[in-house]
Structure 1
Amino acid sequence: MSTQLTAPRLRELLSYNPDNGVFINRVTRSGKAVANRIAGSLDADGYVQIHICGRNYKAHRLAFLYMTGGWPSGPVDHRDGKTSNNRWKNLRDATPSINSQNQHSARSDNTTGLLGVSYDVSRGRYLAQISAGGKKLNLGRYATSADAYVVYLAAKRRLHEGNTL
């Protein structure tokens, strides 16, 4: 791998607007990276990535380098859960635990579509569960998914310091 990108070099190549989270190319670096145009593109997971000196960088990590002069110490969390929202006030340097606690939506394979809620077929009820302190906690079974979700959200707000819901 080549020398790691520095803040001064980043600032030579791009400008960053902390109010809207957009990077603009200062210079033309390739046919796709043209001066005075928005830098980057969305990857398959919805993150803005920017190609610099033969490497793809996530824009949220570049925002930290640009604004602070150094790389974030851990994952960068998008407070609102929107991976393409790179406004400075929406980003925070987080631990892996805090970052995972700030999940805003259920995984794509969750049949209820609700974070922390699954359907218990054997009992015909909705199960609310949360992980905290390295343990999975059963929050009970409920007649409706909405009831289970209310209980899950209350527990999330109490147990997950990184949560922004």
Structure 2
Amino acid sequence: MAKLTYAQVSEVLKLDPETGRLLWRQRPTHLCKDEHQAKVWNSLYAGKEALYSINSAGYRTGCIFRSQQLAHRVVWLLHSGEWPTHNIDHINGTRTDNRIANLRAVTKAENLRNRALSSKNTSGVMGVHWSAKDERWIAAIIHDGRYIHLGSFVAFDDAVAARKGGEREYGFHPNHGRPA
């Protein structure tokens, strides 16, 4: 199926940029079988929230003209007039927060530099772990697919400082490593 156009989407959906909510517009008759179907559709859906289901990855989703769409990508389309060519990052990490102020178009690499702390992390800081063999804290970072050793430290706080310095040096988002 061909990708929906801005004209098609904007004819049926309205964006509230302050809340990031998508609302169904009044459906014109030419998009329905007949006037009766348009009247029924409008009485049931016009003005109500669209694309509000939450998928297994935690993003809002729904169908437009029988085409499954992610709400944050539709919000970007309605805001910018174009489908995003890369990823859309939720700056605060809340996948259901589709306010324009919370979205940014980024590459996959940039998106990975704004991740939440994994639930499997045991130190509480991304990129810092305890080495039982060395009896030291290890700080490391991955940049452009390369593992970069930032140092080994007796003090946990020194390892954290090295990691935070690495994040600044390699352009990680300030929210990177936030609690999940």
TM-score, with normalisation over the residues of structure 1? 0.83
Q: 1:18 to 1:121 in 2, by over 3 A?
A: same
SS of aligned partner of 1:163: coil
**Aligned residue for 2:173?**
163
SS of aligned partner of 2:140: strand
Query: Contact between 2:109 and 2:144, CA under 8 Å: does it hold in 1?
Result: no
| 2:16 is the counterpart of 1:6 | no
TM-score, with normalisation over the residues of structure 2? 0.77
Over the aligned positions, Cα root-mean-square deviation in angstroms equals 2.4
Higher Cα radius of gyration:
2
| 2:114 is the counterpart of 1:96 | no
Q: Runs of 5+ in structure 1 lacking a partner?
A: none
Letter in 2 for 1:114: V
The C-alpha deviation readout for 1:60-117, integer Å capped at 9, x for no partner, is 11112111221111111122222222111221111111111122x2223222232212
**Aligned residue for 1:149?**
160
Q: What is the percent sequence identity of the aligned residues?
A: 29
Name the CA distance, whole Å, in 2 between partners of 1:56 and 1:144: 50
Deviates more, 1:136-145 or 1:126-135: 136-145
Aligned length in residues: 160
**Aligned residue for 1:72?**
84
Match of 2:70 among 58, 66, 75: 58
| Greater share of helix | 2
Q: Could you list the runs of 4 or more consecutive aligned residues of structure 1 that deviate by over 4 angstroms after TM superposition?
A: 27-30
